[in-house]
Structure 1
Amino acid sequence: MGVQVQPQHAEYAELRRAASTLEEMGVDVIFNWDHFFPLNGDPDGAHFECWTMLAALAESTERVEIGPLVSCLSYRNPHLLADMARTVDHISGGRLIFGIGSGWAERDYTEYGYEFGTAGSRLDALAAALPVIRDRWSRLNPPPTREVPVMIGGGGERKTLRIVAEHATIWHAFGDVETLVRKNRVLDEWCASVGRDPGEIERSSGVAPTPGRQPEDVADYAGAAQQLYDIGTRLFTVGWSTTDPDLGKVRDLVAWRDEVNARAR
């Protein structure tokens, strides 16, 4: 299971302590996000950059995997992004999950001077960049410590899921159970079209509140996760806010994960 530590409305020391606490609780992955301004609360509140934070978390944690959920391709040259990811992979000792998406937050683009384009043009750029990133990994010295897992976020059925079928190790999906059942079926169809075994792509989703896109008022994380598990989801992520942390719900989800794993043995 994963926890997305929201890099906003907090001092960095608080974010570091949150990551340490979550690692001690037994979570499997700590994610952040790749934006330049808060996604909720005061839109001009405190906020930290994604990849420099990940490099620091790579040093301050020991066991958990880390990664962006998800990095925005538009903000960095793909060769540079590949090198940054490779470096964080080495700092962490091979614990990076490379989350990547096409981007959507227009304010990030306009205030930092990036061309926003259209949803279609951003997805086209993502599809073109993923082979470039893998090629750059193959030519870096030293190369990544392992075959870096590539997590692609999004659920567009015409373009995004085709890109997932072609390139992803993990697909992070959005929506309620009914929506995800349909999108899983569409992804399987794209896998058949491109000649990929759909079983090679781990299914991931949030359970609450962000990046879940399940109902924002989910009270029972474990119950929501069980519904997702029943339709094939295997990576479950909850949002963590330093302004309103809820250790109890995270503990419940860790306990549910352990029970599921024990039954599977």
Structure 2
Amino acid sequence: MADVRPDDFIVFSDVTKTFQTGTQSYTAIRDVTLSMKRGDITMLLGPSGCGKSTLLNMTAGLISASKGRVSYGGTEVSGLNGKVAYMTQQDHLLPWRTVAGNVSVPLEVAGLPKRQCEARVAELLALVGLKDFATSYPNQISGGMRKRCALARLLAAERETLLLDEPFGALDAQLRLTLQAELLRICRKLNLTVMFVTHDIEEAAALGDRCAVFQGRPGTIAKVFDNPLPKDRDLARLRFDPRHHAFTNELWAMLTPDLSAAPAELQASA
């Protein structure tokens, strides 16, 4: 269980969520206590089906707790939370709009003048490597490109908190690293708060200021780790940092205790 701190921004206090379908019930998470500071990137790490995405849905106000309390900025979450932007595992692109048209949706809703909107869309498409596909439609681009388009649209919303559900899972390793680095840079610059669901231990260790490790079904938090690396870390050079290796190994040991008992010579070569 994680301690609640006095400067916490998002807080889950002894939260349980049970879903009811007819006469059947399913408990996704049980007795979860977790807190996040404003401006932190918190990784929710664990295997599929342990309830990580349930916490995102509660923060967004899409579902409510069956037990316990979820608060955001000191106020209990009740109904949709308009201060967050959510990127799910599905990109939810509008098929009748071009790539540029999809990215511009939040800007149009905000009433941004057309010229400013076009300039901002061009900036975001360049950021995610899609400037040559602005006039393409979602069914004309790859799955990885669709993810990049969805990320650009998310950033266009300019919300104070990002809820990310495995957003880089469909990308190749090099592009994933590029977008991770850009996400980190943007979050630091704008002081964005991030809740990031992943089952990738390397990704959690690279991006997170804190990593909440989930276990079991229903999901519970086994431990919350603070990342020993500075906030302005260089993701491209993490492989050379012994602190990163030690932190990654801690997460591995928590999630895969059987593997952590490997012979010393194998651990030394990791």
Q: TM-score, normalised by structure 1?
A: 0.38
Larger Rg: 2
More helix by share: 1
Query: Normalised by the size of structure 2, how large is the TM-score?
Result: 0.38
Relative CO higher for 1 or 2, CA cutoff 8 Å, sep ≥ 6?
A: 2
Tell me which protein shows more strand as a share of its residues: 2
